[in-house]
Amino acid sequence: MGLQSLLLHLFWVATTVEALASQPPVTTKPGCPDKCGNVSIPYPFAIGDSCTIRGGGFNISCNATFNPPKPFWGELEVLDITLLSGLMRILNYIGYRCYTNTGKLDFVWKNWMNLDESQPFTFSETHNKLTAIGCDTIASITGFWGRDFKSGCMSFCNDRNSVINGSCSGIGCCQTAIPNAFKSFEVTLDSVSNHKNVSSFNPCSYAFLVENDAFSFNESDLIGFHFLDRSESVPVVLDWAISNETCEMARKDSASFACVSENSTCYESTNGFRCNCSEGYEGNPYLIGGCQDIDECNENDVKKLCQQNCINLPGNYSCSCWKGYHGLYDDQRECIKDTHKFPAVAVVLGIGLSLLVIFTGSSSSYWVWRKRKLIQLKEKFFQQNGGLLLQEKISSGQSSTQTFKIFTIEELKKATNNYDKSQIVGQGGSGTVYKGILPDNKLVAVKKSKLMDETQIEQFINEVHVLSQINHRNIVKLLGCCLEAEVPILVYEFISNGTLSQHIHGEGYEGYASSISLENRLRIATEAAGALYYLHSATSTPIFHRDVKSANILLDNNFMAKVSDFGASRLVPLDHTRITTLVMGTWGYLDPEYHQTGQLTGKSDVYSFGVVLVELLTGEGPISSTRSQDNRSLSNYFLTSMKENRLFEILEERVRNEGEEEQLMSIAQLAKRCLKLKGEERPTMKEVVVELEGLRRFHEHPWEPKKNEESENLLGEPGPSQGYTSNASCEYSVDSRTLSALEIGR
């Protein structure tokens, strides 16, 4: 009788589930339209106030003047709405900035969009990118409401033949990712030479926020702005939520809680909470009866799992065997024909003991196997990252290793408390820097990079070899590396007082910006210039830094400058004055000649240092949206002010008060020469150092000697009292005037 009751119950369940599954899915409230033209409008979105969920801005209007009709969210056309992922695709306009063939601004159309600040809609971080098109184009995006940020990219090319179809890597087209949780943005455009050299085939710059896969670059896009299927508009993806509350907060108001369907769940996204159907159900969780059972028995994967019978259950399914067969396992997925009858207890006991033996043996084997795989993986990474080559250099005496160490991955995990977030002291495009403490209580900076080009391993090891030998007091010391991780980890000495950028602009150092005197600014500039000159000329293999900026000049507790971050630096063969590289650097500091030609020289570092020198004079950032469109970059702003004789209007107040007019003008003229567009017209780093040292003595009498710990001669051989040690050395021929004018720490 019990078996008969069970079979009747299963039959009733299967019949009920089949009846529910046969019903069409519910997507909107009764009596409300579920489509506008070809676009489905699922609840909580709806056409008409009475059909939408209360609040939240889910009202859609259907414009029937189009054929077929088109849905609009406010003034924005809607392309698609998805419940499961919480996305809405809309159309937005393209921004452009066009010039005549003489370089005169012709017309401008800005790309911007504002969402309602009170509504839980944000621009999707994972589905959109800022995209810019043009051969002389600088695009920036400024975000507001929810997250304030600034970002951008640059695109250059000499002719149409140099661009690569389908590639947005900075040649004719560039793209950059955006952060999450912002509700408003403005895209602005700028150019270096107003398209004078490229106007014949590219008179305009274009920029827009666009869905990741909705745009593919083609060289014909440089001609005009009607380059997309939708003419002057592009799709943008929004993340939406029911409200900006958490699930716990929303459940407190049970009468209006949005997840009303049985078998629905609440989950939280970046901008609020949304609903979904429970596992085994599908449909609309925002409507009563909206989540309906999935008939898993109709799915091919389940059909393969159930060897004989499949029974659909609410939210699930079960397998059963035909008469005369029994399940090999409890779930009856695999069935075997009945042959012998064994007592059930004996069968269960036998299976249990067998499983116990198998589990115990498997566990031991697994942990042995896992430990062996970890060792093999570390060995693989060590060899892949050039560990054998580095060991060969060390054993052959090619590297000065008195202080350089090859760390194990366990040592660095322990030093950084397993790379705890609280240990992060810096983050950038190339990696993350953690504060670490070695067993001897020595503080170190541990840099985990994001990427490593396997084809450049030998180059990387050579750079580590050269950088490990640098022992200059104004250059951050490389103490060691770890090659057992997928990407090599570098270990530097820890500099405790932040970056020059933080002290100039007050980023996290409130009050420090005004505390840097002109004398200290000149000293810091001279020390940094001396370090760069040393890298260019005094090492055994010349080094171009390639990312000189105030954020890469650290300050110790005595405010001594320390040049850091050699992640982008390149070694230069002794018989070369320039090398061709993939363009790298930071927007606002990047040498425009290097960016256009890819030819890296020592003068590229001189240009970037010139921007740092202007920062020290003005206290302004390298890029600022508060300045006019033509003066967004600090270099343009400074050079324009110099041309219009407005230098003293843009100087920082303390600099203006402490400096003599002649001295300040001389510093500005030096910065101006560093920022020449043609590298051959810029001074060398040696000339920059000499001139800065002369400017530091502006108020001193030539017969009054000055002796302090900085009075060491960079250009001559180090004396025995200087305490300078390095395997890299070089001799120079310098006239007596240079020697008497030059003092710099080494």
Which of 43, 65, 84 is the endpoint of a domain? 84
pLDDT in the model for residue 253: 80
What is the rounded average pLDDT of the residues 56-71? 91
- The domain that holds 469 is classified in CATH as 3.30.200.20
What is the rounded average pLDDT of the residues 402-421? 87
500 with 569, same domain?
A: yes
What is the rounded average pLDDT of the residues 612-616? 95
68 with 114, same domain?
A: no
- Three-state DSSP class for 408? coil
One DSSP character per residue, 123-189 reads E-TTTEEEEEE-SEEEEEEEEESS--EEEEEEEE-SSGGG--TT--BSBSEEEE---SS--EEEEEE
C-beta separation of 607 from 682 below 8 A: yes
**How many helices, marked H, and strands, marked E, lie in the chain?**
17, 38
Angle, CA of 216, 123 and 285, to the nearest 5°? 110
Range list of H helices, 192-292: 247-251
Asked whether residue 264 is domain-assigned, the answer is no
Average pLDDT, rounded, for the chain = 80
Mention every residue, 6+ apart, whose C-beta is less than 8 A from residue 664. Answer: 617, 647, 648, 651, 655, 656
Q: Within a 10 A sphere around the Cβ of 387, how many other Cβ atoms?
A: 21
501 with 394, same domain?
A: no
Which of 278, 309, 337 is the endpoint of a domain? 337
Quote the percentage of the chain above a pLDDT of 70.
79
Two tokens, residue 476: 């951050």
628 with 692, same domain?
A: yes
- The 10s digit of each residue's pLDDT in 244-258 is 888 988 888 877 789
DSSP-derived secondary structure letter, 24: P
539 with 482, same domain?
A: no
C-beta separation of 693 from 706 below 8 A: no
pLDDT in the model for residue 587: 83
Asked whether residue 228 is domain-assigned, the answer is yes
Least trusted range by pLDDT, from 5-14, 335-344, 715-724 = 715-724
420 with 540, same domain?
A: no
331 with 474, same domain?
A: no
485 with 502, same domain?
A: no
Cα-only R_g, the chain: 34
Which residue among 136, 221, 293, 547 is the active-site one? 547
- The domain that holds 308 is classified in CATH as 2.10.25
Asked whether residue 10 is domain-assigned, the answer is no
First to last CA, the chain: 97
118 with 75, same domain?
A: no
Banded model confidence at residue 259, pLDDT cuts 50, 70, 90: very high
- The 10s digit of each residue's pLDDT in 345-372 is 666 776 777 777 777 766 766 677 777 7
Q: How many CA atoms lie within 13 A of 625 on its CB side?
A: 16
- The 10s digit of each residue's pLDDT in 118-177 is 788 999 999 999 999 999 999 999 998 888 899 999 999 988 888 999 999 899 999 999
pLDDT in the model for residue 555: 92
Whether the per-residue pLDDT at 470 is higher than 90: the answer is no
pLDDT in the model for residue 507: 59
Asked whether residue 246 is domain-assigned, the answer is no
Range with the largest mean pLDDT of 396-410, 448-462, 540-554: 540-554
Residue matched to tokens 């060691």 = 480
Banded model confidence at residue 455, pLDDT cuts 50, 70, 90: low
Q: Which residues of 237-257 are buried (b: 16+ CB within 10 A; e: fewer)?
A: bbbbbbbbbebeebeeeeeee
Q: Within a 10 A sphere around the Cβ of 412, how many other Cβ atoms?
A: 24
pLDDT in the model for residue 62: 94
197 with 65, same domain?
A: no
Kindly report the three-state secondary structure assignment for every residue of 428-496.
CCCEEEEEEECCCCCEEEEEEECCCCHHHHHHHHHHHHHHHHCCCCCECCEEEEECCCCCCEEEEECCC
Residues of the domain holding 114: 92-240
- The 10s digit of each residue's pLDDT in 523-568 is 999 999 999 999 888 666 788 888 899 989 999 888 899 998 765 4
- Give how many domains the chain has, as a whole number: 5
- The 10s digit of each residue's pLDDT in 282-292 is 999 999 889 99
Banded model confidence at residue 700, pLDDT cuts 50, 70, 90: low
In whole angstroms, how far apart are CA 436 and each of 116, 440, 485?
44, 11, 17
Whether the per-residue pLDDT at 437 is higher than 80: the answer is yes
477 with 624, same domain?
A: no
Which of 306, 337, 368 is the endpoint of a domain? 337
In whole angstroms, how far apart are CA 103 and each of 188, 613, 650?
18, 29, 27
In whole angstroms, how far apart are CA 530 and each of 496, 686, 743?
21, 8, 9
pLDDT in the model for residue 454: 65
Asked whether residue 148 is domain-assigned, the answer is yes
Asked whether residue 609 is domain-assigned, the answer is yes
Whether the per-residue pLDDT at 740 is higher than 50: the answer is no
Whether the per-residue pLDDT at 279 is higher than 70: the answer is yes
515 with 405, same domain?
A: no
- Three-state DSSP class for 68? coil
Asked whether residue 375 is domain-assigned, the answer is no
Instruction: Label residue 667 exposed, middle or buried (CB < 10 Å: 0-12, 13-18, 19+).
Output: buried
Whether the per-residue pLDDT at 706 is higher than 60: the answer is no
Q: Which tops the pLDDT comparison, 389 or 555?
A: 555
- The 10s digit of each residue's pLDDT in 651-674 is 999 999 998 999 999 999 999 999
pTM of the model: 0.50
Cα 67 to the chain's mean position, in Å?
Answer: 42
Asked whether residue 153 is domain-assigned, the answer is yes
What distance in Å separates the CA atoms of residue 656 and residue 501, rounded to the nearest whole number?
19
What is the rounded average pLDDT of the residues 630-644? 91
What distance in Å separates the CA atoms of residue 24 and residue 22, rounded to the nearest whole number?
6
Concerning whether 547 is annotated as a catalytic residue, the answer is yes
